[in-house]
Structure 1
Amino acid sequence: MIKAYPRTRRIGEQIRRELAELIRDELRDPRLTLISMTSVDVSRDLAHARVYVTLLGDPAERAERVAELNHAAPLLRRELGRRMHIRTVPKLEFRYDEVIERAAQLSALIDTAVADDARKHHDDPSSADEVGAEKPV
């Protein structure tokens, strides 16, 4: 991950907003309408920007949409240059952001563990010896 500095963070946020607008208004590709820009990591020298996106669909469709975005990256970069007032417009690289999927997987694992634990305590008669239960003297 690229280390964020206040200026690169600010520029990354501006790029994220502008790209969302450009994709919606300029590309006009119906397959790219349900894309969300989650974050943009900009290198300190502003030469490169990784744009993380989320979108619906199976993994093959997502890979295809990300490839389409990377194919359109030079056009988007040129349009960013017209809209933003910075000397160097970063080269754009689009990547699928897997954070949401990973969070859902972790949440499912936690739910499964909690359910298993509750089932074990419910089925086990010695579970009355748990915290708060009085032990005979």
Structure 2
Amino acid sequence: MRKNSVKNIRINGEVQRVLAEIIRDLKDPRISPLTSVVSVEVAPDLKTCKAWISVYGDDSEKVQNDTVEGLKSAEGYIRRELANRINLRNTPEIRFIVDQSIAYGVRMSKLIDEVNGGQNGREL
């Protein structure tokens, strides 16, 4: 199976949806309730999975690091739930990665607004 095959794209989408549901139901206090799964990339052999997560609200790296640590400690439970909810030949080993793109986009948007606000209504 090629990396960008239709089957792999469908698997990525389904794993992303189910991972988001599982993470939302976790009771670990280290995991922020505002955690979302931004993207998932499952390897073609279904052995490994990279899950990019984003923690909304707090820009603190401590909250993000605590969330990742909580997810890593719950990886066995998450894999078991994933295997129960999705019928795959192999249940992938999940690696959680913090996605900074949303925070970066918000920061850039604020900077652009500041620059445009300094124009006193003049158009560029």
TM-score, structure 2 normalization: 0.78
The ranges of structure 1 where at least 4 consecutive aligned residues each deviate by more than 6 angstroms after the TM superposition are none
- Across the aligned residues of Structure 1 and Structure 2, the Cα RMSD in angstroms comes to 2.3
Q: CA separation in 1, counterparts of 2:5 and 2:94?
A: 18
The alignment-based identity, stated in percent, is 32
Q: CA separation in 1, counterparts of 2:114 and 2:37?
A: 31
Q: CA separation in 1, counterparts of 2:65 and 2:49?
A: 19
Worse-superposed segment, 53-62 or 95-104: 53-62
- Which of 81, 98, 101 pairs up with 1:99? 101
Pairs within 5 Å for 1:87-126: 87-116=89-118, 118=119
1:66 aligns with 2:68: yes
The alignment of Structure 1 onto Structure 2 pairs a total of residues equal to 118
1 or 2, which has the higher helix percentage? 1
Unpaired runs of 5+ in structure 1? Answer: 123-129, 131-137
Contact in 2 for aligned 1:50/1:94 (Cα 8 Å): yes
Give the corresponding residue for 1:54: 54
Q: CA separation in 1, counterparts of 2:110 and 2:80?
A: 42
For 2:74, what is the secondary structure of its paired residue? helix
Give the corresponding residue for 2:9: 9
* CA deviation after TM superposition for structure 1 residue 31, in Å: 4.4
Unpaired runs of 5+ in structure 2? Answer: none
Q: Greater Rg, structure 1 or structure 2?
A: 1
Contact in 2 for aligned 1:8/1:46 (Cα 8 Å): no
Higher relative contact order (CA 8 A, sep 6+): 2
